[in-house]
Amino acid sequence: MADVIWCKKDVGGKPCNTVNYLDPYCFWNWEGRINCAECGTVYFIHTIQGHMYRGPDEKPGEKPDLSPLYADKPLEGYKGYYPGIKGKTRPYECLPRHIYLGKADMVKFSIRGRPVRGWRPQPPSAGLAGSFPYKWDIQKLSPDVWKEYQEKKKKGEVKDW
């Protein structure tokens, strides 16, 4: 299915109001039980070609077959559950790294330990009309990173490959 389960389960006198996103390829044709990321309520759904053929039917006491990848709460500032929160959302395995940031990674050194300009903010260094030279004067512009680099070199952390 490609749909959402907007969970209205009453939790402590308030509706849960969590939107569970059922990602389109996984749930396009699917049958089973899925939990709400916030309150854990288990729903049975059966989808065919993206349409909910049956469900969502509450299945109290049963275990979910799968969790959503992502859910959020539109009424509370869109607070979200990222993939891979234990007991809430299912982990997303096929990632480029063991960690997932979803925001810019501040990188100062390449994998072989040499400086790369992957962090912000950078001190201004342009000349007239935004012109740049053909050298990154790291020693002058970012002396702390330069120092860190010298130490890395001493420690043998700078490699050829």
Partner 1 sequence: MAKDPRETRIEDLPGPKSKGELEEMKIPYEEYCRKAFDPGNEWSKPDALKGVRWLSCTMYIFTPHSAANLAELGAEVIKIEIPRMGDAMRHTSPFNEAYLYPLHDTRPMTGTGLGFTNANSNEFYLSMDYHIPEMVNVFYRLVKMSDGLTELYRPGTLDRWKMSYRYLQEINPRFIYVWGGGFGYGPKVFGGSYDILGQAHAGLASITGMHEYMGGHASKHSNWCIDWMSGTLISYGVLASILWRRKTGLGTMIEFSQVQTPTRISGYTFPLYGRFGIVRQRWGNWDTQLCVHGIILCGKSDFPDAQNPQDKHDARYVMVSAFNDPDFKELCDITGLKNLYGKYKAHKDRVDALPQVEIYTALEKWAADKSRSQVVKTLTDAGVLAAPVMNDRETYECEHYRERGTIRWLDDPLYGDILLQSGHSVGMMTKTPRRTNWIWRPVGADNVKIYRDMLGYPLSKIEEWYNKAYI
Partner 2 sequence: MAREKREVEIKSRADTLELISPEVRPWPVTPPPPQEEVLKVYAKRKAEEFGKWCEDNLRFEYGFGKAEALQGLKVLDIGLWRMGHKFASSLLAEAGAEVICIEPPGGDPMRKLTPFGREEYMLADKETGEKCGLDFIAEMVNKHSITLDIETPEGQDLFRKLAVHADVIVEGHLPGYMDNLGVGYRQISRINPKLVYCWVGIRGSWGSYKDRVSKHGQWELDPFSQCTNPFVHSSGFPQDQLPRGKGGDPTRSGVWINDYCAGEQAAVNILAALYWRDELNGEGQFIEVTGAESYFDILDFDISWYGFNASIKARTGGWDPNLNQYEWNPCRDGYMMIGGQSDRLWYRIGMCIERDYPQFGRLIHEDPFLKEVGARNALHALIKTYTLTTRWLRDINRVEAEEKLMDYEIAAGPVLYTDEVAEFPHFKYRPWVSTCETDYGTILYATPPNAFQIKTPHRVKWLGRALGKDNYEIYRRWLGMGPTRVDALKEKGVI
Report the interface residues with partner 2, using CB under 8 A. 1-4, 19, 21-26, 28, 49-51, 69-70, 72, 74, 77-78, 80, 82-83, 90, 92-97, 100, 102-105, 107, 110-112, 116, 118
In the complex, the smallest distance separating the C-beta of residue 63 from partner 2, rounded to whole angstroms, is 19
DSSP 14: E
Residues 9-68 that bind partner 1 (CB under 8 A): 25
Q: Which does 131 bind (CB under 5 to 8 A by kind): partner 2, partner 1, none?
A: partner 1
Return the number of the residue (94 or 128) whose C-beta is nearest partner 2.
94
Which tokens belong to 60? 């109290």
- Work out whether strand 51-58 and strand 42-48 pair parallel, antiparallel, or are unpaired: antiparallel
Which tokens belong to 38? 């916030």
- Our finding on whether 154 is near partner 1 (CB under 8 A) is no
In the complex, the smallest distance separating the C-beta of residue 101 from partner 1, rounded to whole angstroms, is 5
Query: Which of 61, 130, 144, 156 lies at the binding interface for partner 1 (CB under 8 A)?
Result: 130
Rounded to whole angstroms, the Cα distance separating 138 from 135 reads 9
Type and span of the H or E element at 58: strand 51-58
Alpha helix segments (H runs only) across 1-49: 24-27
> CB 68: neighbour CB atoms within 10 A?
25
- Secondary structure in 3-state letters for 30-54: EEEEEECCCCCCEEEEEEECCEEEE
Residues that bind partner 1 (CB under 8 A): 25, 93-98, 100-105, 107, 109-112, 114-122, 124-136, 138, 161
